[in-house]
A = this chain, B = another copy of it.
Amino acid sequence: MNIKDDIKAYNEVINAYLDKLLSEKDEDLTIITDSMSYSVKNGGKRIRPYLVLKFSELGGLDKFNEGALSFASALEMIHTSSLIHDDLPCMDNDDLRRGKPTNHKVYGDAVATLAGDALLIIAFEIVSDAAAPDKAKVKAAKALSVLAGWRGMIGGQIMDLQGEKRRLDDREFVKMNALKTGALLRSTARLGLAAAECDDKAICRDADEYCACIGRAFQIRDDILDVIADQAEFGKPVGSDAKNGKTTVLSYMSLDDAQALAAELTEKAVKAIEKYGDVGKELAEFADFLLNRRI
């Protein structure tokens, strides 16, 4: 199976699972569940859940293990929450996300704020309910909360805000990306291996190295796409980073140098993971896929 078909097959399973998790309704509260579902079902690439599932296999679980699917879905809820809050007028003030109106454009700022909160919270409900041992659930909740929280993703968003006011220096810029994009990507290995109750030191270290490298490469590619992408395909306004005065990798180097750096990081990621049998090879292929993605 080629990588695109593999991603497609995983996405179908992930999307069905997300649908199931968001199927509960209350007639007095339809606006909040509608708002949550609107953003979760808004055509996400499901990169993070895909990685959680692959790492659960690397740790020894069967494909589409139910506990791993729960952890994968919890992470996607947190990721979606961050997108909703990021798009708010008081943050990036974006009107479009994946080609559709952003959450607050449809539901208003108040409901969008609460939908982001509810998605953060439901992530931990999903972890609590997962078909996994209590020890694995606690490990997953810990990884998610540390890597999404103020020392992780939220910290990256804080540095990103600072980068709108002044140019970040090299160290700050690398750290900002390691937190903003890198932290949740690194959580994929922790979650997948936690689901599999795998604590083999070498595997954990190599998986973390892989995640750290693709995280950096992913953000570089994102910055590049913000300049070169086709707007209809990309789904959000091209050039919005420049518009918002964001510090991006292109504040530091040329397009060609940035793509070369992303390629170098991808190669490092591949080297760390390709030795782990079929799943290792699939993860290596996935890193290459991310490097050359157009959306």
Contact = CB atoms under 8 A, between A and B. Distances in A.
B154 A141 contact: no
A175 interface: yes
Contacts of A246: none
Nearest to A117: B154
Contacts of A157: 114
Copies of this chain present in the complex amount to 2
Contact of A158 (B29, B129, B158): B29
Contact of A91 (B32, B110, B172): B110
Interface residues of A, number: 55
B128 A138 contact: yes
A135 interface: yes
A28 interface: yes
Interface in A61-114: 81-82, 85, 88-91, 108-111, 113-114
Contact of A150 (B122, B154, B159): B122
Given A32-B155, A149-B118, A127 B141 contact: yes
Interface in A114-152: 114, 116-118, 120-122, 124-125, 127-129, 134-135, 137-139, 141-142, 144-146, 148-151
Nearest to A148: B121
A203 interface: no
Given A110-B161, A122-B150, A137-B138, 14 more contacts: A26-B151, A32-B155, A82-B117, A88-B113, A91-B113, A111-B161, A116-B117, A118-B150, A122-B149, A124-B124, A125-B145, A128-B141, A128-B145, A134-B138
